[in-house]
Amino acid sequence: MSNQHVVVIFPHPDDESFGASGTISKFRDEGVPVTYLCGTLGEMGRNMGNPVFANRESLSSFRKKELAEAAKQLDIEVEYLGYRDKTLEFEPIDPMAEYLKEKIVSLEATTVITHYPGYAVHPDHDALGAAVVEAVSRIDEKHRPEVWMHAISNNHEDDLGQPEIVHDIEPFWERKLAAIKAHLSQADGMMSLIQSQDQQSEQLERLKTERFYQYKF
């Protein structure tokens, strides 16, 4: 299938940069529009910057500004789905799936990128990924987009095998770093890890590869 519009659906501001920004950059270089449907404002995040520059009341505003800057770096559109951070696992899946289906269909998505439910570590990741699968399953097969799933847990390859889609994002590494850095309140740990790594280390090389499972309906 030739891509006409890629839609990325993750729960938090920064998920797109840490998990898929190299792949997003690849699509943008190919002229494919990308829209990020961000589930929440990340208002319950524990990181407030280092040194601290936000508090529980102001964090959502900071994270919204951070995502706007990351989107500028990646040249993508952003829409917020309006859910509350750390509550997605309690949302009834049926209305959530219908809402997502409407969004996916209206954007005429040809590929959807989301988290692999059960292998995405955070309850919000798992819940939104499951809702995306349900949403896409409700789209007529003739118009159904591909679904690429990002697995994070340490055991995912033991259970799922090797992912079908593997992107070397070395050519887009600087853009990925710029997008990560845009998330000032969240990026400190990742940037410290990157800066402390020998340039040839296995861990750093893994950061320069993005892997996705292609969901089979």
pLDDT of residue 44: 82
Percent of the chain whose pLDDT exceeds 90: 78
Strands lying side by side in the sheet with 77-80: 77-80, 34-38, 6-10, 111-115, 146-150, 209-214, 165-168
Where the chain has pLDDT below 50, the residues are none
Specify the pLDDT at position 159: 96
Q: What angle is formed at CA 18 by the lines to CA 26 and CA 38, rounded to 5 degrees?
A: 90
Q: Which two tokens stand for residue 185?
A: 């309140």
What is the spatial distance between Cα 187 and Cα 160, in angstroms, rounded to a whole number?
Answer: 29
CA nearest to 138, candidates 187, 92, 98? 98
User: In angstroms, rounded to a whole number, what is the distance separating the alpha carbons of residues 48 and 55?
Assistant: 6
Q: Which CATH number fits domain 6-214: 3.30.70.260, 3.40.50.10320, 2.160.20.70, 1.10.3470.10?
A: 3.40.50.10320
Q: Encode burial over 18-38: b for 16+ CB neighbours within 10 A, e otherwise.
A: bbbbbbbbbbbeeebbbbbbb
Rounded (5°) CA angle 126-127-130:
85
Query: For position 193, what pLDDT does the model report?
Result: 62
Q: What is the pTM of this model?
A: 0.92
Q: How far apart are CA 205 and CA 179, in angstroms?
A: 18
Q: What is the pLDDT of residue 5?
A: 98
Domain extents for the chain? 6-214
